[in-house]
Structure 1
Amino acid sequence: MDGASSSAFRPKKSGEKVPVWTSTRYLLAVLGSFGFFSAYGMRVNLSVAMVAMVNHTQKAALNGSEDCVPNTNTTGQDKPGEFGWDSGEQSIILGAFFYGYIVTQIPGGFLAGRYGGKPVFGLGILCTALFTLVTPVAARANKYLFIAVRVIQGLGEGVTFPAMHAMWKSWAPPIERSKLVTITYSGAHLGTVFSLPISGLLCDHFGWPSVFYAFGALGCLWFVIWMLMVHNTPEEHPRISYVEREYIQGELRREGTTGKNESIPWLTFATSAPVWAIVLSHFSNNWGFYTLLTDLPTYMKEILLFDLTQAGFLSAVPYLCIWLVIIFGGQLADFLRENKFLSTTAVRKVFNCGGLVLPGIFMVATGYVNCSQQVLAIVFLTFSVAMGGLCMSGFNVNHLDIAPRYAGVLMGISNCVATIPGFAGPAVVGILTQNAHQWQIVFYITAGINAFGTITYLLMGDGTVQPWA
């Protein structure tokens, strides 16, 4: 059955209205959102801190404009960076996180399905937070120890998306999935909005180590709140209202996707066209997202020639906009489904297409802008990142549409493949970006990958529960 076929607010015999914004399921969405806020803050702070950590020698403007004067890499107190890593070494360090991140995707979904998403999600972020706190010591001790710490941070954070998807299979009524999932995962982008400028300020005023101490401590604080307030299922929650529990369970029973998984149909996953549609779109979306997430501060400083603090603040602007697009998109997607303007399949394809095609167009346009057109560059980059938020109501929630019981494992599979751009993207940037014209090649590659993801999802995507699910 199509996920849009049931009403979100079916009257109850008791006459009591199902709570929405004061509900337990929305509290879960908010706390999950803050979890991703913390996780992404710890993930992306190195992108800004790296600019302060490395002692670049002054060189000609990369964009080739004789009218542009390049910035030297100093902090607000004019202190040069401590480390002499070249661009290749920096790319390896920035990408190291994803070598760990890719390993725990599928195990994270499996463990969350067996033991519940609450402990898996919480402990994953705690692991990342603890190793964030020791990052300055590791970086100063040895480059390879620093890389190892980043890999371990990735191992911890790799379980987060699969674990959260596993929780939503028990907590999200089908017609509210877009809303709840987008609220939850939008925290990742809000964390990026916060992390980029705050990291720049911390580097300028307190030195780059303060970035890791601040975000690591925040992650530990969030872990305590999460473990005290969240429960794996509505049945386990001691404070959920009767009417909300009955509403959630009734909607899931009506969909026919309740119950435990006796076995995981791995071969069926491998031969399912809708699963492949999700995987390929996830890969395509993440290629552009990770390329900019990791290298945008460097692009702002070395190509557009902003100083460190400006680069941090301006790099955050696109992620503030994507946060808004994700929230609005989730509300609009479920509005279209609930009122039967479009089927779930049509909604997923429309949003997914917009979230891949539009970013590719604006990214290519960015490649033709130099440092004398800084405002235009920011506009193009902002639209490129922000429009990608439409995908959150496309492939990113689609696992719950086609196979709710296996959503955690399916998210682990798709995010595992989609993590490859996390280290491949920065590597491509490190190899190609010796001047602005080579950044154009990076952006064209991204647009081509987005086009591939669009076509495959339009052909193979589906929004209905699969027969094997």
Structure 2
Amino acid sequence: MAVTSVEKGNVESGVVQTPVPEIEAPASCIGSRHVQVVMLFLLITLGYGMRVNLSVGIVAMTDPTVNPGMPTYDWDDKPTILSSFFWGYVIPQIGAGQLAKTYGPKWFLAVTMFISSLFTILIPFMAELGSWGVIACRIMQGLAQGFFFPSSHNLLGKWVPPTERARMGTFVYAGGPFGTVLANPTTGWISASSLGWPFAFYIYGAAGLLWCVAWIYLGKNSPSDHKSMDPIERKYIETSLGQVDNKVVPPTPWKSIVSSLPVWAILIAHSGQNWGFSTLLTNIPTYMGKVLGFDIAHNGLLSAGPYFAFWVLSFVFSGITDYVIMNKIVSVAVARKVANSIGLYVPAAALITLGLISDTDSDISDITLVLLFIAVGVNSSCFCGYNVNHIDLSPTHAGTLMGITNGFSNIFSIIAPLLVQFIVSDEENPQQWAVVFYIAAAVSIAGNTFFVFFGSGEIQPWDSIEPNENTIDPPKEKEMEERKHSNGQRY
């Protein structure tokens, strides 16, 4: 099996394709790159589990009827507690992308997962001090997990060949909804059992510590750091990505990034998605418990259902998007915009419908569950839209771009749950929840519309490394730009 790359040169009449020597692919279907991807998947899975298990756990922590033998607390600031994770999460994003690019992400991921796991274990102890104790733990969890996405993007850019980018990238980031699927019912069952809600935090903290040990042995910053991997696989990865043995870290073109409209399109789409996703992520358990009347054990299972749909559909959408791009049915830009539109417009329509039926007096439990499944599940199409668009625009600076957009967009992950606290004064009032759904839908529509008009699928001019005596020869600069442009158009 071999992969043939194509180099494109611009001429007056159009685009000329010049064959480039074939790249020999490794015979084994499971290689070192797959180990790195699986470890990143587990990182995101556990990280999201630590992030969301409080959404279910807080129901048991504040309701003495759930498990009478466990300690409970009279807190009236639950939305603040749930959103406090993002107070810390937004801070390190840009710096994390830069640090991962400069020093490699391996040890940053090991240390930050250790910190996140430690403060997950500390939540039951800090809860005795009051809600501020839990808030402090959540902020520290957020600070640590702020390194996860920029570092993962950096590793994907170094380990995953372009022909595997959509599928492997989706697999890694699908750890988010998969972690939610596991965390919600597991936390619900544990909270209602004789173990009680504290063990939900102990278990996730212990799993995170085990991941740290495995990552120290298995994690590598790049194929060149992996001394025992198949040399054919190393050559396959490095050649397909156009990697060279160059220790010089390219400078970040901050001015060009800030003035780039396609980058702003990713940022605004990312913000719109985060508003709706965080609103549902932090409030579905409460909504199901207070409005739909499900008990804590069923609540955890049912509130995980939409995220199971998200996880499954993410592979469907990624496969379709990868197919249409590789077969040149549409351009990269069109594929990203269509996928993103499905991922934001369809859930927005579901949320609007959910708000409208909330104004009725009839039993809406069944239709509400269907709409929540649609709103969350179809949102997975965004994985094939803005979420991988950073790499389309700039493979060199993809980690930094992810840090920028993920950092600023998660400000909305703070605002959205806090807004719920002001709007929903009575958690059993479906009309108040309807207002929350309308706002989330409007923000999603606005964010995707901007992406449709101003997004791009081509490598940007500022992605190129400026030539100097330590990098490449000036005559090769144009050739490098053309090769990168070719990869951007093809993949």
Structure 1 length normalisation: TM-score? Answer: 0.90
Q: C-alpha separation between the residues in 1 aligned to 2:260 and 2:404? A: 13
Which of 343, 346, 360 is 1:358 aligned to? 346
In 2 relative to 1, CA 163–176 (structure 1 residues): closer, same or farther, beyond 3 Å? same
Contact 2:75 2:131 in 1 (8 A): no
SS where residue 396 of structure 2 aligns? helix
Alignment-derived partner of residue 396 in structure 2? 405
Alignment-derived partner of residue 446 in structure 2? 452
Which of 155, 175, 183 is 1:167 aligned to? 155
In 2 relative to 1, CA 12–81 (structure 1 residues): closer, same or farther, beyond 3 Å? farther
Structure 2: which amino acid aligns with 1:444?
Answer: Y
Alignment-derived partner of residue 112 in structure 2? 124
Query: Displacement of 1:21 after TM fit?
Result: 4.2
Q: C-alpha separation between the residues in 2 aligned to 1:322 and 1:13? A: 37
Is 2:173 the counterpart of 1:179? no
Which of 21, 31, 42 is 2:39 aligned to? 31
Structure 2: which amino acid aligns with 1:330?
Answer: S
Count of residues in correspondence between the two structures: 442
Contact 2:85 2:141 in 1 (8 A): yes
Q: C-alpha separation between the residues in 1 aligned to 2:87 and 2:245? A: 34
Query: Displacement of 1:325 after TM fit?
Result: 1.4
Which of 70, 73, 79 is 1:83 aligned to? 73
Alignment-derived partner of residue 216 in structure 1? 205
Which protein, 1 or 2, shows the higher relative CO under an 8 Å CA cutoff with sep ≥ 6? 1
Query: Displacement of 1:259 after TM fit?
Result: 7.3
Contact 1:132 1:213 in 2 (8 A): yes
Alignment-derived partner of residue 442 in structure 1? 436
Query: Displacement of 1:138 after TM fit?
Result: 0.6
Q: C-alpha separation between the residues in 1 aligned to 2:251 and 2:405? A: 19
Contact 1:261 1:405 in 2 (8 A): no
In 2 relative to 1, CA 50–224 (structure 1 residues): closer, same or farther, beyond 3 Å? same
The within-5 A match list for 1:410-421 is 410-421=401-412
For 1:155-174, what per-residue CA distance to the aligned partner results, in whole angstroms no more than 9, with x for missing partners?
00111000101111211222
Which region of structure 1 is more displaced relative to structure 2, 279-288 or 328-337? 328-337
Alignment-derived partner of residue 384 in structure 2? 393
The within-5 A match list for 1:101-120 is 101-120=89-108
Contact 1:11 1:17 in 2 (8 A): no
In 2 relative to 1, CA 279–20 (structure 1 residues): closer, same or farther, beyond 3 Å? farther
Alignment-derived partner of residue 51 in structure 1? 59
SS where residue 252 of structure 2 aligns? coil
The within-5 A match list for 1:12-411 is 17-19=25-27, 21-55=29-63, 74-75=65-66, 77-78=67-68, 82-86=72-76, 89-205=77-193, 206-253=195-242, 260-369=248-357, 372-411=363-402
* Sequence identity (%): 36
Query: Displacement of 1:239 after TM fit?
Result: 3.1
SS where residue 152 of structure 1 aligns? helix
Contact 2:113 2:212 in 1 (8 A): yes
Contact 2:5 2:22 in 1 (8 A): no
In 2 relative to 1, CA 360–5 (structure 1 residues): closer, same or farther, beyond 3 Å? farther
In 2 relative to 1, CA 362–170 (structure 1 residues): closer, same or farther, beyond 3 Å? same
Contact 1:117 1:163 in 2 (8 A): yes
Q: C-alpha separation between the residues in 2 aligned to 1:448 and 1:339? A: 34
Query: Displacement of 1:261 after TM fit?
Result: 3.6
Q: C-alpha separation between the residues in 1 aligned to 2:330 and 2:245? A: 22
For 1:19-38, what per-residue CA distance to the aligned partner results, in whole angstroms no more than 9, with x for missing partners?
57412222222111111110
* Higher radius of gyration, 1 or 2: 2
In 2 relative to 1, CA 257–317 (structure 1 residues): closer, same or farther, beyond 3 Å? farther
Q: C-alpha separation between the residues in 2 aligned to 1:211 and 1:369? A: 35
Q: C-alpha separation between the residues in 2 aligned to 1:330 and 1:12? A: 28
Mind listing any 5+ residue stretches in structure 2 that lack a counterpart? 8-18, 464-491
